[in-house]
Amino acid sequence: MSKARSAPVRAAFIHLALIAYTLVALFPVFLTLVNSFKSRSAIFSQPMALPTPSTFSLIGYQTVLSQGNFVGYFQNSLIVTVASIALVLLFGAMAAFALSEYRFRGNTLMGLYLALGIMIPIRLGTVAILQGMVAAGLVNTLTSLILVYTAQGLPLAIFILSEFMRTVSDDLKSAGRIDGLSEYAIFFRLVLPLVRPAMATVAVFTMIPIWNDLWFPLILAPGEGTKTVTLGAQMFIGQFVTNWNAVLSALSLAILPVMVLYVIFSRQLIRGITSGAVK
């Protein structure tokens, strides 16, 4: 009897705890978005209120759009992220296919070598990476960032994709070989379409750290023409630190693309994690 009575009470406590933590997680984001639409005096007098017609103001966004080159930064981030993901997926899938499909000498060794980068952060090689990029004349180019992020994303991509490729049926590939398909055709036309869900998971995992990275843009491409959104927002906020309208609007603009992508991909991301892609 006592159990039947305590179950709803227990459920209520659990919901209370989860709601409390959800508020903790979302409150700062909410605060930023709400206040970016308010006038300066309202930001300070009623920080927690929603904007009303009398306190509504877009002055912060006007400052950001007229002072900062956010369209350019956004474009740079987009180019770097998309190009890196494309290269990680293509090269990663090819290597994963070779490792999971063929038996050759050094297979395990190659797999371990490529997996090293999952645990060892690429950042530790920064000193020599910068030196190399200077020597190759790639400093302050988006190419340098794309190369670094491709190398950074490959280990985990190869690891996840080769797990998935092992599950593709051998019969299908044998049938393809009997029909005279080349190994390249088997990879591009039979295997790749079958691992598309895994590719989407890898794309999301690769994207977040690239989009949010501050270290490599700061060191390899700090020039005005190659700034990414993350670095651009950081610099902009540094300059306008006392202009709260502008700071809050810049933050909101930086949150926006990530949130849009999250809404689109969240199911993919969560399915990828919960299906055990990252064991």
Partner 1 sequence: MSDTEITDIETVPVKRPIRWHIAVFLAPAFLVYTAVMILPLIETLRLSLFNIVEGQLAFVGFNNFKTLFGDPRLSADFWNALRNNVVFFIIHMLVQNPVGIAIAAMLSLPGLRFAAFYRSAIFVPTLLSFVIVGFIWKLILSPIWGIAPSLMDLVGLKWAFAPWLGKAETALIAVSLISVWQYVGIPMMLIYAALLNIPDEVLEAAECDGITGWSQFWKIKLPLILPSIGIVSVLTFVGNFNAFDLIYTVQGALAGPNGSTDILGTLLYRTFFGFQNQMGDRSMGATIAAVMFLIILAGVALYLFVIQRRMRRYQF
Name, in order, each residue with C-beta under 8 angstroms of 170's C-beta and a sequence gap of 6 or more.
none
Judged by CB under 8 A, the residue of 1, 112, 116, 178 near partner 1 is: 116
SS3 string, the chain, reads CHHHHHHHHHHHHHHHHHHHHHHHHHHHHHHHHHHCCECHHHHHHCCCCCCCCCCECCHHHHHHHHHCCHHHHHHHHHHHHHHHHHHHHHHHHHHHHHHHHCCCCCHHHHHHHHHHHHHCCHHHHHHHHHHHHHHCCCCCCHHHHHHHHHHHHHHHHHHHHHHHHCCCCHHHHHHHHHCCCCHHHHHHHHHHHHCHHHHHHHHHHHHHHHHHCCHHHHHHCCCHHHCCHHHHHHHHHHHCCCCHHHHHHHHHHHHHHHHHHHHHHHHHHHHHHHCCCCC
Closer by beta carbon to partner 1, 53 or else 274 = 274
Asked if residue 249 lies in contact with residue 94, where contact means CB atoms within 8 angstroms, the answer is no
Contacts with partner 1 in 23-62 (CB under 8 A)? 24-26, 28-29, 31-32, 43-44, 47-48
Site string for partner 1, 137-176 (x = CB under 8 A): ----------xx-xxx-xx--x------------------
> Which listed range, 53-61, 67-75, 121-129, 170-178, lies at the site for partner 1 (CB under 8 A)?
121-129
Candidates 52-60, 166-174, 192-200, 250-258 — which segment interacts with partner 1 by CB under 8 A?
Answer: 250-258
User: Does residue 115 interact with partner 1 by CB under 8 A?
Assistant: no
Which of these segments, 50-58, 60-68, 83-91, 162-170, binds partner 1 (CB under 8 A)?
83-91
Residues 99, 164: Cα–Cα separation, whole Å: 12
Candidates 61, 70, 159, 187: give the one binding partner 1 (CB under 8 A): 187
- By beta-carbon proximity to partner 1, the closer residue of 53 and 178 is 178
Q: Considering the complex, state which of residue 53 and residue 112 has its C-beta at the smaller distance from partner 1.
A: 112
Shortest distance, position 175 Cβ to partner 1, whole Å: 18
128 binds partner 1 (CB under 8 A): yes
Among 56, 212, 225, 239, binds partner 1 (CB under 8 A): 212
**Residue 247 makes contact with partner 1 by CB under 8 A:** yes
Q: What angle do CA 155, 156, 158 make, to 5 degrees?
A: 65
**Quick one: which of 12, 17, 134, 172 contacts partner 1 (CB under 8 A)?**
17
> What's the rounded Cα separation, in Å, for the pair 124 and 208?
20
Judged by CB under 8 A, the stretch of 65-73, 164-172, 194-202, 268-276 that binds partner 1 is 268-276
Residues 169/233, Cβ–Cβ less than 8 Å: no
Q: Please identify which residue in 80, 83, 114, 220 interacts with partner 1, judged by CB under 8 A.
A: 114
Nearer to partner 1, 59 or 215 (CB): 215
Stretch of 50-58, 61-69, 124-132, 173-181 contacting partner 1, by CB under 8 A: 124-132
Q: Count the residues of the shown chain that bind partner 1, applying the rule CB under 8 A.
A: 90
